Structure 1
Amino acid sequence: MIWRHIASNFLTLLIVLLVALAAAVAWSKHEFSGPGPSEVAQCVQIAPGASLNAVSQQLAAQGAVSSAYIFRAGTDYMDKARDLKFGSYLLPPGSSMESILGVITAGGPSTCGTEVILRVGVRENSVLLRDMNPETGGFEEMARYNPAAEAQPAAIAAAGQKPDARLRVTVAEGVTSWQVAEGLKQADFLSGEIEEVPAEGSLAPDTYEVAKDSPRAALLAEMGRRQAAILAQEWEARPFGLPYESPEEALIMASIVEKETGLPDERPTVASVFVNRLEQGMRLETDPTVIYGITRGEGVLERGLRRSELNAATPYNTYRIDGLPPTPIANPGRAAINAALNPAQTEFIFFVADGSGGHAFARTLAEHNANVARWREIEAQRGEATDSPVQGDG
């Protein structure tokens, strides 16, 4: 009788323990897959070679997970303990342990933390230090300087040495290859020499993420590969009947379009003007090509064109030569290449600035002269009147 009683009590206790264990497992599973405790975005930085235990403790200390033990157990159960990827990752508010594990084991480019960015621009270059504000989920600028004219701030120098800093190079649309090469020389987080300036137009304006001490030559090669791929893709998809004999001629046109307008919506219309002119045997008559013939892309012409320069017979003076200049005059972006190969269907053969940052387009010389008169009035009001011709003033 007593043994039957003991067995009954043991069986009851076992059932209670099993129920408690099942409840604990269910609760742990809910904790692992359910919403996390953080009410704000979290920037989690995974150090190179970090152990699962260290990462679990770090996440718990930051308040990203409710239990380091449950996160570690769940990671082991999913056989992900060896898949942690070095980097800095932005976690949305309320991220579950399961979703956090997915982010830090998937890897890829860092999405938060410290960024040091070299921006290569048409008029000047700049280096920026940005840091993620987890509360807003956005980057905030912490420091900036012009590497050609200013000393490097200590904050940027220190950030560039951080092993988890994100290093990027951003190349603006319309910069020349010489400007890109000179800009890369100003990035102290890159290494190596640049033996020669790449061909004009051959580099893709874009943002490039790099590792510390990446070779400058390798980065230029990657820019070249991207531009070649873009041009090949856009050329393959072009419509019939365009006045280009080769992808290189389309690239030349794209560079002119890029330099003639800073308004994305205008690019196809500007391209249509030049395509119409080519088809009608008219000269392109565009100032940016003349300027390139003077500077050869080495810097910016900080003045208006002189009458003697507009009259000079040079390969890039489209007021004096027929057709396209011999090479691109800058590195056009994909949008400008697309516009050159997909121009708007218009009858425009003239255009001139309209004072708003855009242009006024015309089909006839009479319409164009009226637009020019309005532009001259705006110039006079601004005290900017010049003797230079205006775009398309044939």
Structure 2
Amino acid sequence: MSSFLKPRWPVRFLALGVAVGLAMVAAFAWWALAPIRLHASPLDFSVKPGSTARTAAVQVRAQGTEISPRLFYWLARITGKGTEIKAGSYEIEAGTSPWDLLQKMARGDQSLLAITVPEGWTFAQFVHALNAAPGLDHDAQGLSGAQIMDRIGAPPGTPPEGWFFPDTYLYARDSSELAVLRRAYQAMQRQLSGAWAARQPGLPLHTPYQALILASVVEKETGLPSDRRKIAAVFLNRLRAGMPLQSDPTVIYALGSRYSGALTRKNLQVASSYNTYVNSGLPPTPIALPGDASMQAVLHPANTRALYFVARGDGSSVFSDTLGEHNAAVDRYILKRSP
């Protein structure tokens, strides 16, 4: 039989195979770029450590999507991202495609929660907030302050008060409370170290820890930010003169749960090493978590000889160089007596 009379079915079969293959590729591409069906939007889900593309997709499907683990595996394999998937917490919204999802997990573009620690909080308030925060592994719950400090790597015997920098901390779901505490502790170490290295010379403070203690007192005393450096200067002047600090917040800290909301004369005599009315010098530890502004105020105080200040009642303070001037200010702003 001559060659031009040979059957043409192999060519047709090959053409059919190519057409089917192209159709499959097109269908796969359409699937990869089409929105995933979500049971809720936005949808939060987590991927466990050690997950492959297939097991990650199984987890995503189990947490509220209609994604195909088999197709997702092939998408990851074909694009070379199968080994790049990162564990963590994620959020996707309506319109997200399998390709979008794969890129998000390959980047580790996690959905993060946040906890804000205000300046002036105590260590106990910070821990309480962590215990109540959603999405955390509450591994610090029930631990004492000493145990927490040990777990985050602080030197033995380090008191926890004051050693955590007030800031907003982002975290992924299922993160550790201790990990957040460790970050805040390390942040405070960095802030304090940098501030201490750039301090004004001639201060009556001998260690960074003393600066941290005084900064915590300034933090609790300051009602108006513009007064902060003057308040710091008053306390530093009193330290130089050997005068007690006479800071109400230290007494409030000493009283703890016994504080009723108003200090009495009896309160000012409470037997405590934190009572700066009956003890000279600094309290033994910080009384709160000071922010950077208070640390800077202590290490770069205002140029004043004032030894006293009293609150006006509007957040600002009146500063006095002498006891007579101070008593007059107390009469006017505290006792409400006319001059």
Structure with higher RCO (Cα < 8 A, 6+ apart): 2
Deviation of 1:286 after TM superposition, in Å, equals 1.3
Match for 2:195 among 197, 221, 234?
A: 234
Partner of 2:287: 330
- Distance of aligned partners of 1:254 and 1:7 in 2 relative to their CA distance in 1, 3 Å threshold: farther
Partner of 2:309: 350
Partner of 1:76: 77
TM-score by length of 1: 0.56
Deviation of 1:77 after TM superposition, in Å, equals 2.0
Letter aligned with residue 68 of structure 1? P
Deviation of 1:15 after TM superposition, in Å, equals 4.3
Deviations 1:288-331 (A, max 9, x none): 23455x55xxx444244443664689865545666x41533324
Unaligned runs of 5+ in 2: 114-121
CA RMSD of aligned residues (A): 5.3
Equivalent runs, 1:82-231 vs 2, <5 Å: 82-105=83-106, 111=112, 121-122=124-125, 125=128, 127-128=131-132, 130=134, 166-167=137-138, 181=145, 198-199=158-159, 201=161, 203-205=163-165, 225-231=186-192
1:360 correspondence with 2:303: no
Distance in 2 (alpha carbons) for counterparts of 1:345 and 1:26: 75
- Distance of aligned partners of 1:79 and 1:315 in 2 relative to their CA distance in 1, 3 Å threshold: same
Unaligned runs of 5+ in 1: 113-118, 132-164, 171-178, 378-394
Partner of 2:219: 258
- Distance of aligned partners of 1:226 and 1:50 in 2 relative to their CA distance in 1, 3 Å threshold: same
Max Rg structure:
2
Question: Which structure dedicates a bigger proportion of its chain to helix?
Answer: 2
Letter aligned with residue 213 of structure 2? I
Distance in 2 (alpha carbons) for counterparts of 1:98 and 1:311: 69
Letter aligned with residue 54 of structure 2? N
Deviation of 1:256 after TM superposition, in Å, equals 0.4
Note if contact 1:168-1:208 (Cα within 8 Å) is conserved in structure 2.
no
Distance in 1 (alpha carbons) for counterparts of 2:68 and 2:296: 52
Q: Which has the higher mean CA deviation after the structures are superposed, 100-109 or 218-227?
A: 218-227
Distance in 2 (alpha carbons) for counterparts of 1:168 and 1:209: 15
Letter aligned with residue 18 of structure 1? V
- Secondary structure of 1:307's match? coil
Note if contact 1:361-1:368 (Cα within 8 Å) is conserved in structure 2.
no
- Secondary structure of 1:74's match? helix
**Number of aligned residues:** 311
Note if contact 2:43-2:91 (Cα within 8 Å) is conserved in structure 1.
yes
Identity %: 23
Distance in 2 (alpha carbons) for counterparts of 1:123 and 1:45: 26
Deviation of 1:253 after TM superposition, in Å, equals 1.5
Deviations 1:73-104 (A, max 9, x none): 11122344455444432234433323422444
1:18 correspondence with 2:22: no
- Distance of aligned partners of 1:168 and 1:78 in 2 relative to their CA distance in 1, 3 Å threshold: farther
Note if contact 1:32-1:98 (Cα within 8 Å) is conserved in structure 2.
yes
Deviation of 1:232 after TM superposition, in Å, equals 0.9
Letter aligned with residue 273 of structure 1? I
Partner of 1:270: 228
Match for 1:248 among 209, 214, 235?
A: 209
Note if contact 1:272-1:343 (Cα within 8 Å) is conserved in structure 2.
yes
Question: Which structure dedicates a bigger proportion of its chain to strand?
Answer: 1
Letter aligned with residue 332 of structure 1? L
Distance in 1 (alpha carbons) for counterparts of 2:127 and 2:44: 32
Distance in 2 (alpha carbons) for counterparts of 1:341 and 1:5: 100
